[in-house]
Structure 1
């Protein structure tokens, strides 16, 4: 794998990003005045929810040194090594509809999810 020239982690495709997810995230980042060439969306896993683990997302101005970095459709996604153990191979999508809109992680590692889809177990 190649090292990202901007100084953070490795550049790879451990997480797939759909065009709609990238478009929405880049739009949100730009509306907050963030530099989309350096900053990105941090995708992580945290303890919580009725199934044990839940996804978290936030914008970061730059990656951490040991992050895995995925860059697709103009969006950089940062994932820390511990979270990568749970979400490697996942797809980040953005869905919009009449009842709800938001980012969704399609994770092939999930063995069980809670009824509301907010938490999971691997």
Structure 2
């Protein structure tokens, strides 16, 4: 499996990389934090780290560190607008529970 992007997420990433004028793609991962234990992290990257696993979807390179892949394998990254708010949403089939504040999750 791998991580995939919706068309909306791919368009948003491509627009941002174009606006920046550089960039290889996005790095996705997890970090330990919050009430449920894990939180997603996403950053734009200009070059791959030696340990990164590189996937490509919708023309966008997605870099993932091997430790995070176990938690996010099969995840679909979406970009949504709800009212005045917009942002990335992780649709992760591995999530068993999410904290009330929505900042962290458990697998």
- TM-score past 0.5 threshold: yes
Q: What SS class does the counterpart of residue 9 from structure 2 fall into?
A: helix
Aligned residue for 1:116? 101
- Gap regions ≥5 residues in structure 2: none
- Gap regions ≥5 residues in structure 1: 1-12
Q: Check the 8 A contact 1:40/1:63 in 2, yes or no.
A: no
Report the Cα distance in structure 2 between the residues aligned to 1:116 and 1:102, rounded to whole angstroms: 16
Superposed counterparts of 1:33-48, under 5 Å: 33-35=21-23, 39-48=24-33
- Kindly provide the CA deviation profile for residues 36-81 of structure 1, in whole angstroms up to 9, marking residues without a partner as x: xxx0100010011111100001111122223222211221110000
Whose strand proportion is higher, 1 or 2? Answer: 2
TM score, norm. by length of structure 1: 0.82
What's the RMSD between the two structures over aligned residues?
1.2
2:58 equivalent to 1:73: yes
Q: Check the 8 A contact 1:46/1:56 in 2, yes or no.
A: yes
TM score, norm. by length of structure 2: 0.93
2:85 equivalent to 1:97: no
- Kindly provide the CA deviation profile for residues 58-115 of structure 1, in whole angstroms up to 9, marking residues without a partner as x: 1111222232222112211100000001000111000012131100111111111001
Report the Cα distance in structure 1 between the residues aligned to 2:85 and 2:55, rounded to whole angstroms: 26
- Kindly provide the CA deviation profile for residues 13-44 of structure 1, in whole angstroms up to 9, marking residues without a partner as x: 50011110010011111111114xxx010001
Paired residues in the alignment total 107
